[in-house]
Each structure stands twice: as C-alpha cells, then as structure tokens.
Structure 1
Amino acid sequence: MRFDFFRRSAAEETPAAETAQGLAMPRNAEGFVAYTLLLDAHKRVAGYRLAWRAAARPEEAPDAISQFKSLVACVTEHLNPPDTPWRLGRSELFFDVNAELLALGALQSLPPEYTVLCVELGDLANEELRPILHFLHEQGFSFMLCRAKALPEDPELLGLVSHFDVGAGDPLLVAAARGKELPDHMPIQPIATRMASWKDFEACAVRRVDVFADPSCGLPLPPAASTGSHALQPESVLIMRLLQMIQRNEDLREIEAALKRDAALTYRLLRHMNSPAVGAGVEIHSLHHAVTMLGYSPLFRWLSLLLATSNPMGSPPFMMKKAIMRGRFVELMGEIMLPRGESDNLFVVGMFSLIDQLLGIPMQEVLNKVQLSDSVQQAILTRGGVYGPFLSLAEACELDTGEAARLAEALLLSASQVNAAHLSALAWSQDVIPAEAA
C-alpha cells in the first residue's frame, strides 16, 4: 500500500511522478462527473456525492484508482483552482473511497473542510490505515461511515466519524447517531443514503435527517399538484407579462411602466444585473440603461432567472438551483458548438425545461403565456431542433443515465468539455441562488 502524501506535498505531485511511483494511470481517464444531491429537511442543497462514470465500455474502462484521480483532478480544476476561494460556498462534497484511494496524494488537492470521505467499517477499523485516517482527520477531512449496522464502540474510531449512513432513515440508526456524543466532538450527522420515493424523503425530513436524493426517483410533485390549483404568484404573473412584452418588442417605456408596479421586483432585477455572477461588467442603474447598453435579449434572460425564483412558497430551493444550473449548463455546452448570439436562447431552453415544476402549472400553459421562439419550444417539448440535443445531454448528466458519452459524441463534444461546463454551471448557480432564494 502506498502512503503517497506522507512522502511529498501536493505541489510536488505530478502525473509523471505518480507513474514513476507505480501508480501509472493517466489522470485524465475519459469519463463524466455524476453526482447525487444531499438535501436537508427544507429541500435545500447541503452537498453533493460525486462519482466518475467512465466513457468507455465497462470491460475497457480504466481501473478505479485512475478514475478516482480523474474525478479529483476535474473537481480541483473547476471548483478549487489555486489562489481561488472554494466555489461551492458551504456545500460539502462526498467521495466513496477504499483503502487504496485513501492512500493517494491526490486527496491533498481537495479542500479538507468541505470534503467528506465515505468509508466502510472494515477500512475505518484497519490498523494499517489508522495513521492515514488520523492524518487526514487532523488536516480537516471528515469521514462518513457507510453500510454499517452500528457505530463503532472504540472511542478512537468513533472520534473519526462525523456522518453516519442510516440507510433509508432507519429510526434505530438515527437514534444511535444522535445518542453518541463524545467530549470535544461535533454531533454525528445521520444521512439517509437510500430513497425509494419522495415519501421516504418526507419521512426523513420529519426527523431532520438529510437525504441523498436518488435521481431515479424523479422530481417531487409540482406545488399545485396536491391542491389541483394552477394559480400563479402575483410576481410570477408580472414577470411572465414582462417576458411577453419583450418577445413582442414593445416600447421600452411601456415595459418600464409595467415593471415599476413592483418596486421589490425592480430592485431584484437590478441587483441581478449588477451581481458578479450575471452582471454586465458595468454598474446598471435602470432598466433603460440596461437595454440601451445590452439590448432586449439579456433582459429576457435576467427576467427568466427571476421567474425561476418567483414561487418560493411552492418550489423547493433545490429545484430553483437545478433549473438555473441546467440553464447555464446547456448554455455553456452550446457556446462551444453554436454561433455567437445563441447564449440567451440556450439558457432559456435549459431553465424553462423545468419551469412547469417550479411554477406548478402545465408546461403548455406556461408556453401559452410566454411566446418563446419555435426552436426554443421545440427543444423544451420534444428535445428536438438545434437546441434539443444539448438539453438531452444535460439531463443525461444530471440523471446519470449512462447516455452522456453517446449524446456528447453526437454533438462532437469531449467529456472534458462537458465536465467543464457542468461543474462551472454548478459553481455559477451557487453564486446566483443565495441572492434570490436563500
């Protein structure tokens, strides 16, 4: 077993050095980043469980060490680059690791305070691994004990555990996690790692247990589904009216007059325009100023962003983040292949593909209220046209369907380009959401 990081620092670690050490795998094994959302009881995103899906067929895929290094290298490049603050705020990343992966120096490129290493009891109790576990723990890495029937009785091992896998929310395991308190040790956080349906999530939420939301369970029911009502929030109605006015190229003075009926919305729109994540590069003082400098398309995009966050009482926070992230993901992938000037359409395609879930009304009703272009509607309704394949690829990456490699190849996109767009969109949505839907 190789304890690489005991012998050299992360700055000294290079692919060539690792090859010389006998770890001989390319750090860029072709594959796609996949993740599962960790949701708290209020359906807010608390973290992400990351994995690597090899682009090659299973029998041709690189070994586990190579794939893990590729995952860590990708995360480091796009979420934790040198001399840059951690790009996911307080969100934690969870990685499944075993004895071999725990010994890799590649871990040193991850931010310890935001990294949780998911281990099984056999590795946690392995005497040979004990020095590594303590070394990582002292650096600030956290450990989640997975697939164990009980927490360890040994105080030394128990002191390493910060998160505990409670399966589908087993009440006995939850009670065990909350009943184990050691001096100078943070409470152990129970996490449900299995979810058969959103009913399971709600049962865990009642007990304040965070849940890894299984993508195979689909999305929760739209807010109006349980009531049978499709009534929109007043702010949503106003934004949709403004979007219609922009689509019809109505006079700017009339658009401004409509917007001024809601001072709070005007403030939020201007704040969006001037935020680092979506700002125009200069300070925008008014709607007239924005349109004079940039035109109607960016205004349509910004209002679309606000529409995604205009139903906070009905839409769960993670859905708002998901819609905004998907819009940015589709946009970034499309920018690589499509002519300049398509960005705003691409963003609208991605975000509006979830707008029925956010507003709680049927998609066709939304499209009747906001007359989007035929190419945008075609992508949203059928995944066809010039924009549709980019939306299909984004959904395949989000849902981890195994179709990402085929869809990317059809678009002449490499896995590294898709991963760069995906993780950049993840970070971008982190910057946008707190200002609008915290």
Structure 2
Amino acid sequence: MSTHPASGASSPPPPHSQSSVAMIARQAIVNAQNVVVGYELFNRSRSGAGHTAATDVILVFTALSHAGTEELVGKKLIFVNCTHESLTGGHLELVDPDKVVLEIPPLGHTAGAEVVARLPILAALRERGFHLAFNHTVLESAYAPWLPLADYIKLDLSVLAPDQLAVLISYAGRHSQAELIAEKVETAQQYDMVSSQGIDLFQGYWFARPALIEAKLLPASQASIVQLINLVRKQAATSDIEEVLKKDAGLAFNLMRLINSSGFGLNREITSFRQAVMLMGLKKLFRWAALLLTASRTSGTPSSVGHTAVVRGRLMELLALETLPPDEADLAFVAGIFSLLDVMLNMPMESALGLLSVPDEVSDALLRRKGFLGDLLTLAEACESSDDAVFDRAAGTLHLSSQQINFAHLQALAWADQLTD
C-alpha cells in the first residue's frame, strides 16, 4: 500500500458556483439588414449603487472578462454610457479602443465654457481609437466644438417630434460625418419613418428588448490582488508577478480570460501566465488589478476550491519538472489550476474551457484525462482522495516513486498555504 499524504489535502466540496455574478443587460443595435453591429450595455446588478465613474469601466471590464455560457459581446461593438469623470480614468487602457463606443452625456444647461474645456479629453480618446457617440444635443450650437468628433449620434424617438427629427437628420448630414442611430424604435411606423429619411442604424423594442445576461467573474483573494498591485508598483520581476498569479485560481482565470478576449485586441492566443504578464505590461497590469479590487465582493480568504486548484497546479508542476524543462512544466501547472473550473463556474468543463485559450494537451487532460498531463492530473486527484489503487497505477505510468510524489505533495501544500500567512 502506498503512503501518500492525505492530511491537509481534502477533496473539494460539492459543486456550487464559486463566482460572483453581475447582471448585465444588453440591447442590440442593428443595421437596415437587421444585422447586429453592436450592443449597448446596462448595469442591472442589484448591488449597483447608481451610475458612478467606476460603474462604466467595471461594466466594460466585466463584459470582456466574464465567464458566461455565451459570449456577451463577441466581436461586436460595445456601447457603454459614461460619466465625464470616468473618461479620465486609466482603466480604459485595458481594452482595445476599436471595440468600444463611449456614449458621452451632455453637460446640461450650463454647458458654455465647459464644452471647450472638455474638448481635449474627448479628442484624446478619439485619437487613441475609441468611438464617440452623443445624443441629439451635440447638434445644438453650444456643442459645435464636439460635433466633428462624433462617430455616432443617437436620436431618441421618444423625445423628438417627427418635424424635429427631420431637421436634425438633415443638419447632421450636412455638418458631420457621424452615423445616425434611431433609438427607442418601438413600432413599424417609426422604423419606416426614420429609415426613409436615411437613418441606417436602429435600437429599440421593435428590434430587440434588452436581454439580461449573468456575467460571472471568479473571485480573487483581495490579499492576492493587493500583493499583485504592490509588486507592480515596485516594478518587480516578471517571475515574482507570475508567482502571485499561480497562487490564486480566480486571479489567473480572470487575467487569461481578459487578455484572450476580443476586446484586448491581440492577434494570437496567450496560454501562459508569463506571456500574459509580459504582453500586458506593468502599467496595464496595475490598472487591471486596481479595477479587479474595486469590483471584488469577496473576503481575503481563498475558497477551499481555489486552494485545492492551486495545490493541484503546484503538485503537477513539481512532478513534471522531474522529466520536463520549465517551459513545458508550466503547462502542468495550467492544467492543475484550471482543473476545477467546472466547479468554480458551475458549468460543464467543456463549456468552461471554451472561455479560455488552452493548448490541446491541457484540454485533453482536463476533459479526457489523456496524455502525460492527464496522468499527472489523475495522480493529483488520487492524492486528494487517498485512492491507493488509482495512485499506484498513475505513479507506475509516470515512473514516479511514492517518495517523489509525497515530497512534491507536501511542498505543494506548503506553497499554497503561504496564501494565508
């Protein structure tokens, strides 16, 4: 009989959702052929305490890194309502600006000099590649400095009379390059009226009501997030930052999900934490961690499921290092730390893996326990369950001794326990 450590290596609890859920409504914006060109997003979370500068960026961030059963926005444009305060935040650096349309609110009756004062901010955003949308007030003389920056102008059919609408459409066509969006389109008669006047984009109940989507984020330990922020501020080595990611399954998942989302704008899939850190860069990594801390609703203690995933990842990595170079052993860690995604996200593993970019050997291990990584995962699970028969079989297949496995397991447990020190 093998003597592998069981104390401190408890099996994960029964499956239940380990993720925090944000309720996001999306409403399609369609063209004349009824093809969706983008979605306007609305925060519908009960915990949302009104519209603040933070809610705008959290909404975009959640949309891009969420873990739902379907793509929330896919490759479509994201239309998001902004406050003027949120436009100066660095969090917008986290997304590919080409995917985001910032809906800029008017300044109210006291616009005056404020229109000119805010012009450099709006111009800088557009220069960076963001699209800007305004409502019909941008066609008023007070907002003339903003009009050349408009990519989209939204015309609200619930507040504009038909004769007003005709005048605004004509004026916009002569004085701007903006595409016009008719919003609050609720009847066929309204659609016929605006389409006959040259409007090509539409939003409203006639096309689609806002659909409510559960957008999930895996909770990350606040202690891990703070540690990451401190390392980034000190410009620590990539290897030190990578270590923090490897100790928190939620943190690792959210980063890999975001950096591989269409909104991040990369042309290739990123499959390792080191790649993610190097490609994101310290500045963006800091912004991302700060936003994640803002959005966090969890305590500073990692969940038992997340802890088990970290132990698995480290154990598999240590055992892989017995025969593989470090770069290849990193895949063993990735397979281990993501081996409980189905539990953490409360969805089948195949669906969970669909949210990430992982190499085929990792996918084979997680879905079918195939290959070298599959054997390592089977062995790691046997260490948790004290299943001697499975342990012996897997150890024999991998040509590992009980002593090697026991020592690596104890090392992995101690390494993971540093989270709570």
TM-score (norm 2): 0.38
Greater relative CO, 1 or 2 (CA 8 Å, sep 6+):
2
Alignment TM-score, normalising by the size of structure 1: 0.37
| Bigger-Rg structure (1/2) | 2
